[in-house]
Amino acid sequence: MAEFLQFAFSGLTVGAVYALVALGFTLIYNASDVVNFAQGEFVMIGGMATVAIASAGVPLPVAAVAAIVVAIAVGLLLHRLAIEPARGADAVTLIIITIGASIFLRSAASFVFDKQFHTLPPFTGDTPIIFGGAAILPQSLWVLGGGMVIVVCLWVFLSKTLLGKAILATAANRLAAKLVGINTSYVVGLSFAVSAAIGALAGILVTPITLTRYDVGTLLALKGFAAAMVGGMGSPIGAIVGGLLIGLLEAFGAGYISSDYKDAIAFLAILAVLFFMPTGLFGRASVERV
């Protein structure tokens, strides 16, 4: 039982990060129909920028806020310089643009920062908490709790604020949103900013556990995309469930089968979804009137 709980806690911790990355995918996809494969780079920017700013003597909380601001600025620039000029392009072109942006951001990070692994100090110490024979790092609770807070704040923002409702309206019908006076370009830019902030927060929370480097965003983007696909692309609830499910499958697969296959599990999950449930667990089949 202790071993099972250990794998479960580990899977939930990493799954929470995948869920946050998948939420970023979902938010941008709903607002603009763009699958943003640069989403993982926001996680990298959050962790690396916090490390760089904190190493300059800035208090960690201030460094974290500054890193989030940097990630938001990068997200807005990505929308303004790469996505907005290609408005109206087909989906494949937009995907290639985001992949190119990911490569550019990764190269820029290796130049601005360095190519070494970095970590941050745990927020509340590193003495494990023993539960049922399993050891839980306090930072894991920060990741899980932070993920829950982000999800609740995002729900409140989307359902209770005018800007959030504008994003939902744009996601439902972009043309109709324009007709009622919503600046859809501004809304899409806002969705990039919010998704960048979510990714940066995920990077800050998880860096004390998993370390960070200029190239960690690539795999995180692929895992987040897998989580979004498993849950149903466009479904926020699906993004959360898909992320946690991928994390648990990885942890149990690495623990009970072999760690060599850990990274392949997410892609096997995508294949299974495409074969047996193409819309994902919470996705809805599109209906086109003719």
DSSP 76: H
Say how far residue 199 (Cα) sits from the centre of its chain: 5
Q: Tell me the pLDDT of the chain averaged across its residues.
A: 86
> Are residues 225 and 37 in contact, defined by beta-carbon separation less than 8 angstroms?
yes
Split at pLDDT 50, 70, 90, the class of 287 is very low
Six-digit token pair at 287? 């209906």
Q: 0.75 cut: is pTM over it? A: yes
Q: Report d(CA 165, CA 179) in Å as an integer.
A: 15
Better-predicted residue by pLDDT, 175 or 70:
70
Q: Which of 35, 75, 102 lies closest to 189, judged by CA?
A: 75
Average pLDDT of 151-172? 84
Q: pLDDT by residue (tens digit) across 235-249?
A: 888 889 989 999 888
